[in-house]
């Protein structure tokens, strides 16, 4: 319940700042925030935990490549067991009508807190996201990710997570 309340407060804050920012600047919106909540390591009955997170994307840094439109992303997530993951990486953006398909890869720093020991501080996040465009430069989506240390540590149990996403451009 606590995580749901934090999620609602974060999204409401983003919506508020978006409406004020529109009065100050032109209609060009180059920043996107993704606020998400879900289940960390849903496939491990002993260590599953709710999570919340936020991710930032600056569309001024997008590049069209042979792989599609690529952009850097930076974000953080926190679980109910005080595990945290801070990351930066790259995502591809593919539009399919009103749907957006967004695969991403982001290395980052993982701290287990009271949560699952993933075997190393350096973890790699591979993620896929499917989102639906909404009015007012918003999207709602569902994503799945896998954290792994690529066998850099003595153990590599990995963690599979799913999230519900709210995305807003500013």
Neighbouring residues of 29: CB distance < 8 A, sequence distance ≥ 6: 59, 137, 169, 170
Confidence of residue 64 (pLDDT cuts 50, 70, 90): confident
pTM above threshold 0.85: no
DSSP 3-state of 118: coil
Question: Please, are residues 159 and 146 in contact by the beta-carbon 8 Å criterion?
Answer: yes
Q: What tens digit of pLDDT does each residue of 27-53 get?
A: 557 789 999 999 999 998 888 999 999
Q: Which domains does the chain have, with CATH numbers?
A: 2-126+146-169 (2.40.160)
Strands 84-96 and 159-169: unpaired
Q: What are phi and psi of 18, to 5 degrees?
A: -65, -45
DSSP strand E in 41-158: where? 49-58, 63-65, 68-79, 84-96, 99-111, 122-134, 138-148
């Amino acid at each position: 319940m606590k995580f749901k309340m934090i999620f609602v407060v974060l999204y409401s804050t983003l919506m508020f700042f978006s409406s004020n920012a529109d009065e100050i600047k032109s209609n060009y919106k180059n920043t996107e925030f993704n606020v998400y909540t879900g289940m960390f390591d849903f496939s491990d009955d002993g260590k599953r935990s709710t999570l919340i997170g936020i991710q930032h994307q600056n569309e001024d840094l997008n590049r069209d490549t042979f792989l599609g439109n690529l952009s850097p992303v930076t974000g953080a997530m926190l679980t109910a067991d005080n595990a945290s993951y801070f990351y930066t990486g790259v995502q591809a953006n593919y539009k399919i009508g009103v749907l957006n398909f967004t695969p991403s890869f982001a290395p980052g720093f993982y701290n287990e807190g009271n949560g699952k020991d993933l075997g190393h501080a350096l973890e790699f996040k591979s993620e896929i996201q499917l989102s639906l465009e909404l009015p007012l430069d918003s999207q709602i989506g569902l994503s799945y990710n896998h954290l792994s240390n690529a066998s850099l540590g003595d153990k590599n149990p990995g963690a599979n997570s799913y999230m519900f996403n709210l995305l807003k451009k500013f």
